[in-house]
Amino acid sequence: MNIESLIRENIRALKPYHSARQDYLSGILLDANENSFGSVITIDNLSLNRYPDPYQREVRTVLAAMNDVALENIFVGVGSDEVIDLIVRVFCEPRWDSVVLLDPTYGMYRVAASIQDVQVRSCLLTEDFQIDVEAVKKMVDSDTKLIFCCSPNNPTANLLHDEDILALCKLGAIVVVDEAYIDFAKKESLAKLVLDHPNLVVLRTLSKAWGLAGIRLGYCIADALIISYLMKVKPPYNINALTSRTTLQALSKGVEVHQTVDAIIQEREWLVEELGQLLCIEHVFPTDANFILVRCTDATALYRILAGKDIIVRNRSTEPLLENCLRITVGTHRENEMLIQAVKEYYA
């Protein structure tokens, strides 16, 4: 498969901005109009007066080792949201190309495509929230550059079948698999498959299992060619020094993350059990994520009752296939108890 031919012509020809710190990270640095006297405050002994490494070599080295791929297979963004935006910009010609989404799914794919004036083709998941491969096939044509899959999917909470994702990889477009919630599933990431599938992009984030939504760090794993084009179009210093440092510290805490994930999964199972016993909840969908999708007798009423008690969940009931559905994030045990209590008080 020729990936280069899927890249927009202007991006193929683009001469990227040549930034300071690209060639020299140390020495007598008089090349970037920084403040050589230092910064007004210092945090963690970081040289905050200097622009950070535009290649993010340290962070990418650690992420590469963690995912058993090379540094050249890792791209780091300001959350996965930036990665999604840049993928659209590398591949999709505004007003000409299209992307396919598997609805109901994460809202940012549609927003990123729409900002670029790229056509969005929505293919519904099946009743059990799996990929309708035949339906996707019919939607894809030579101007379809991207197919977005989310596994486990937000908001339906289930994993998609690997064999369906791999079937999509044969359709001639780039397949983006968003694994934001993969740490909560008892399943391996597809990351290593990028080594034999040059059109597969796997998205990961530190915002969920790692508990670091505040620092904005997401990344993707893909063939080196795709990574090289993302590097070309990204803002030169997209990842700041504080985020890089925090990331490096966090990535050494794998054991602790694993423990937290186990605790969240245990809470999830408790919550699934409790929600299943409530009369106002008709169905609790199976979950491989840190949230639960439920079908209620009246989602909007329940949503309002909970909001009235300062318990905020997500009302997804206007989306296709999600009539009367709420999405509930697993909280601490105390928070989960308060949620169940609030529902019981009202519907007792």
Ligand X SMILES: *Cc1c(COP(=O)(O)O)cnc(C)c1O
User: Which residues in this chain contact ligand X in the complex, by CB under 6 A?
Assistant: 79-81, 106, 150, 154, 178, 180, 205, 207-208, 213, 218
Residues 6+ apart with CB under 8 A from 120: 98, 99, 101, 109, 110, 113, 114
CB 209 within 8 A of CB 180: no
Apex 301 CA angle, 298 and 305, nearest 5: 135
Toward ligand X, which CB reaches closer, 154 or 243? 154
Closest distance to ligand X from the beta carbon of 127 (Å): 21
Closest distance to ligand X from the beta carbon of 32 (Å): 28
Toward ligand X, which CB reaches closer, 137 or 187? 187
Toward ligand X, which CB reaches closer, 20 or 158? 158
User: Quick check: helix, strand or coil at residue 75?
Assistant: strand
Q: Which among 186, 298, 236 is positioned nearest to 76, based on CA atoms?
A: 236
Closest distance to ligand X from the beta carbon of 90 (Å): 18
Closest distance to ligand X from the beta carbon of 208 (Å): 6
Toward ligand X, which CB reaches closer, 198 or 218? 218
The residue number with the shortest CB distance to ligand X is 79
User: Quick check: helix, strand or coil at residue 170?
Assistant: helix
Toward ligand X, which CB reaches closer, 52 or 218? 218
Query: How far apart are alpha carbons 143 and 57 in whole angstroms?
Result: 35
User: Quick check: helix, strand or coil at residue 218?
Assistant: strand
Closest distance to ligand X from the beta carbon of 151 (Å): 9
Closest distance to ligand X from the beta carbon of 188 (Å): 18
Toward ligand X, which CB reaches closer, 7 or 293? 293
CA 209 to each of CA 30, 160, 229, 257, 270: distance values in angstroms, whole numbers, following the listed order: 41, 19, 28, 7, 18
